[in-house]
Structure 1
Amino acid sequence: MASAASGAVAVTRALDALVRNDRGRLMSALIARLGSFQLAEEAFQDAMVSAVSHWSRNGVPYSPQGWLLQAAYRKAIDRIRQNKSEERKVDDLRPLVRDEAADDPDDIPDERLRLIFACCHPALETKSQVALTLRTIGGLSTPEIARVFLDAETTMGQRLSRAKSKISAARIPYAVPGPDEWATRLQSVLSVIYLIYTAGYAAGPANGRDLAEEALFLCRLLNRLHPDDPEIEGCLALLLITQARCHARVDAEGITVALAEQDRTKWNRAQIDEGLGLIKTAMQRRAPGPYQIKAAIAACHVQGEVSDWPQIVLLYDSLLRLEPTAVVRLNRAVALAEAGWLEAGLRSLNALAAELKAYQPFHPARAELLSRMGQFNDAAAAYAMAIDLAGSESDAAFLRRRAQQVARSAEAGRLG
C-alpha cells in the first residue's frame, strides 16, 4: 500500500513538473502537427489521463515528454477516427500516421515562438490574447485564468473556445511574422506579457498562481527563443527591475509603501543587476524602442540613493515620441513635479482630467500634487476618488493614510 501511494505521488509530481516546464513546448509541437488548438488541447488532456494510469502501473518513463507527445498524437488520431467522415478520416489521418511512424519521441521540436505569436495575434481581442497565452504557453487552468479576470469559470471557458475557433476560422497563421511585420507584432506580444505582469503585480501571489512570475517566465522564454532582440531584452529588464522591489512595496500591516519610502535592503539586488545588464546590452544595439525606454526609467529609480527625476523627465519625452498616450503624459507630469517643476506638473495633470477620469492612477497623482500646492479641499476630493477606484486593499489603505495626513495638514493650516 505504501509503495502504491509513493508511486502515485511520484507520478503526480512528474506530471506537475511536466505541465509547468514543458506544456508550452508539447502543445506547440501538437498544434504544429495537428493544425488545431482545440484538437491539440483535447489530445493533450487525454494523454495526461492515460499517463496517470500507465505511469502508476509501470513507473515514470525515461522520457516523460516524449511518451506524452506520442500518446497525444495517438489520442488525436482516435478523436479524428471517431468524429470525421470516412473521406475526411483518410485525408486527416494519412500525414499523422506517417509522421508518427517517423518520430523520435525524444526529439521534440520547439515551436513555442510560433505559438506565442498565434496566441497574441491582433485579430483576437486583448483579453482573449492574454487568456490564451496563459492557458497554452503558461499552462494555467481555466479556473485559474477565470480568477485573474474575476470571471465565472464557464465564461472563461467559452472565451477560450471562441479564441481557438477564431484562429481556425480566420486561418490565423501559426507562424513567426516576417521582417516587415516583426516590430509591430512583437509589440503586441510584449504588451500581452506586460499586461500579465501588471495583473500579477497588482494581485500579488496570494491570489492563486503568481502571474508576475508567469510573466517573467514567458519573457525569459521569448528572450531564449529569439535572442539578441533589444525590445525583448528591454521588456525583460523592466520586469526584473520592477519585480526586484516586490518584497518592499507592502509593509507589515499590509499597506502599500511609496517607492521613495521603501526599505532598499529588501530589494533583490541580483534581479536589479540582471535587469541593468540587460538594458545596457539592449541600448548598445542602437535600436531604441518603448520597452527599452521604460526599462531605463525603472533603472533610474534603483541606481542611486534617490530616483533621478530630471533624467526620468527626459526619458518620458523620448517615450512620448513612440507612445503619445495619455498614460505616458500622466507619468511625465508626475516626473516633472518630482523633478521640482510642481506647477508645470499639476497643469499637465489637470489637462488630462477628462481623458483619464476613470483611470485610477490619475487621481492619487493629482491628489498628491494638489496637497503639495496647499489645495487641500481639492486634494481630499481626489483622494476620495482614488480610494473608490483602488484595485487592492493595500493600495486603498495607503491612500486612506495619505488622505488623513492631508486632512491634518489642512486643519493645522486653519488653526495656524
Structure 2
Amino acid sequence: MTSELNEALLRSLTPSVLGILVRRGADFAAAEDAVQEALIEAVRVWPAGPPRDAKGWLVTVAWRKFLDATRADAARRRREDLVDEEPAPGPAPGADDTLQLYFLCAHPSLTPSSAVALTLRAVGGLTTRQIAQAYLVPEATMAQRISRAKRTVSDVRFDRPGDVATVLRVLYLVFNEGYSGDVDLAAEAIRLTRQLAAAIDHPEVAGLLALMLLHHARRAARTAPDGGLVPLAEQDRARWDTGLIAEGVRILQAALARDRLGEFQAQAAVAALHADAPTAEETDWVQIVEWYDELTRLTDNPVVRLNRAVAVGEADGPRAGLAALAALDDSLPRYTAVAAHLHERDGDLATAARLYTEAAHKAPNLAERDHLTRQAARLNTHRSR
C-alpha cells in the first residue's frame, strides 16, 4: 500500500474511530489526542505490513493510547472505572458517529476559525502542522487554537442533534481558503462534504456539494500563467472540468426536485447557469437575477444584493445595475470594484478608472489588488490615446 493510499485511508477512518472512543467513555479532547497518536503510529508501521482490518487496528491502538495517557495522569484517577477493562481485540463496531462529530466540531460555542481548525483535525484527520501551514500561522498558535476548541466542547453531549446549517458554513469557510502549503483545502472541503452527504440525506448538504463542485470545476482557468486573476468572463472555458460540472448539475437537480430550497442550492443554481453558458455573452443573466431574488428572500444578505446588482447590470443594462447598487452600503467589500465595473460598462471611463484604483487600495489580497490596479491602468491608457 502506497503512502498516498495510506494517508487517504487513515483520514477517511478518523471520524469513525474517534466516535468509537467517545462512545466507550473517553472525553472528546483525550480521545482526539489518542486518535492522532494512533494515526502517527499507523504511518510508521503500516508500510511494512498494513493490517487486514484497518479500522479495528486504529481503534485498538487509539484506545491503548487513551488508556496509557489516562493512567499516567494522576489528576484523572477518578476515571479509572471507565477504563479499567480494555475491550477485547476484534472487528470495530459498525456504528458510525461521523455526523455527530461534524455537529460537535461546528458547535455554536466555537468561533468560526476554531470550528474550522477542529473540523480539519478531528473529522479531516489533518495534523496540526498541516492545518497551521494551510492557514499561514505558527504551529504553536494553531495547537493552542485547537486545544481551546477541544476544551470548549469537552462537556457537550455527543448524542444531541446538531445544526446542519452551522456545519455547512464551516465547510464553506474551508472551501473558500482554496490552496496553501501542502494541503488543498478546497479539495479537502469537497471530500468532507461528500462524507457528510453520505451520512445525512439533506438537500442543503447536496446543494453545498454541488456548489463546491461547480466552482472547483473552473479552478484551472481562474489564474493566468503569471499568477494573475482571470475574471469569469475572460476565462478559457475549454479548461473547465466538464466532469465536475456534470456531477454538480446532477446533484443540484436532485436536490431542487425535493422542493426544500435553501441558500446553497440557490447559489449552486447561479453557478450552474454560468457553467452552462458556452460563452460569457450567452450567459442567462435574467435567470441569474431571478435566483439572486430567491437568495435575497432566503438570506437578505447584503453581499447577495451586491452580486445581484452585477447581474442586473448584465441583464438590464449598467444603469439599472448602478441603480440597484445605489441602494446598498458603500462600505461593503467589493462595492467599489462593482461600481467601477458598472461605470465602465456605462462608458464613464474616468470614473471607472478612479474607482478601480480606489478598489485596489481596499483589496483583501495581493492577487485582487494587482488585478484591479491593471484594470485602472488599462482604462487610463485607453483614455490617454
Task: Determine the C-alpha separation between the residues in 2 that align with 1:35 and 1:366.
Answer: 55
Name which of 202, 210, 214 aligns with 2:184.
210
Name which of 2, 7, 16 aligns with 1:25.
16
Q: Find the counterpart in structure 1 of residue 293 from structure 2.
A: 317
Change (3 A) 1:131 1:45: closer
- SS of the aligned residue for 2:275 comes to coil
Report how far residue 85 of structure 1 moved.
5.7
Report how far residue 223 of structure 1 moved.
0.7
Change (3 A) 1:322 1:86: closer
What's the % identity of the aligned pairs?
38
Q: Which runs of 5+ in 2 are unaligned?
A: none
Alignment of 1:225-264 (within 5 A): 225-227=199-201, 229-264=202-237
Change (3 A) 1:363 1:35: farther
Deviation digits for residues 143-188 of structure 1, max 9, x if unmatched?
32223333222121111111100112xx3222352xxxx6xx1111
Question: Which shifted more, 279-288 or 22-31?
Answer: 22-31
Task: Determine the C-alpha separation between the residues in 1 that align with 2:92 and 2:339.
Answer: 58
- SS of the aligned residue for 2:62 comes to helix
Please say if residues 11 and 60 of structure 1, whose CA atoms lie closer than 8 Å, have aligned partners that are also in contact. no
Change (3 A) 1:320 1:165: same
Alignment of 1:167-246 (within 5 A): 167-168=153-154, 171-175=155-159, 177=161, 185-200=163-178, 204=179, 207-227=181-201, 229-246=202-219
Q: Find the counterpart in structure 2 of residue 40 from structure 1.
A: 31
Report how far residue 341 of structure 1 moved.
3.2
Alignment of 1:101-112 (within 5 A): 101=88, 104-112=90-98
Report how far residue 254 of structure 1 moved.
2.2
Task: Determine the C-alpha separation between the residues in 1 that align with 2:290 and 2:379.
Answer: 30
Are 2:146 and 1:160 equivalent residues in the alignment? yes
Letter paired with 2:168: L
Name which of 282, 285, 290 aligns with 2:255.
282
Cα root mean square deviation, aligned: 2.4
Report how far residue 225 of structure 1 moved.
0.7
Task: Determine the C-alpha separation between the residues in 2 that align with 1:90 and 1:347.
Answer: 69
Task: Determine the C-alpha separation between the residues in 2 that align with 1:71 and 1:50.
Answer: 8
Task: Determine the C-alpha separation between the residues in 2 that align with 1:279 and 1:53.
Answer: 41
Question: Which shifted more, 39-48 or 300-309?
Answer: 39-48
Task: Determine the C-alpha separation between the residues in 2 that align with 1:333 and 1:233.
Answer: 27
Aligned residues: 382
Task: Determine the C-alpha separation between the residues in 2 that align with 1:280 and 1:53.
Answer: 44
The TM-score with structure 1 as length reference comes to: 0.84
Task: Determine the C-alpha separation between the residues in 2 that align with 1:408 and 1:54.
Answer: 63
Please say if residues 199 and 211 of structure 1, whose CA atoms lie closer than 8 Å, have aligned partners that are also in contact. yes
Report how far residue 199 of structure 1 moved.
1.1
Name which of 59, 64, 73 aligns with 1:74.
64
Letter paired with 1:173: R
Task: Determine the C-alpha separation between the residues in 1 that align with 2:290 and 2:42.
Answer: 56
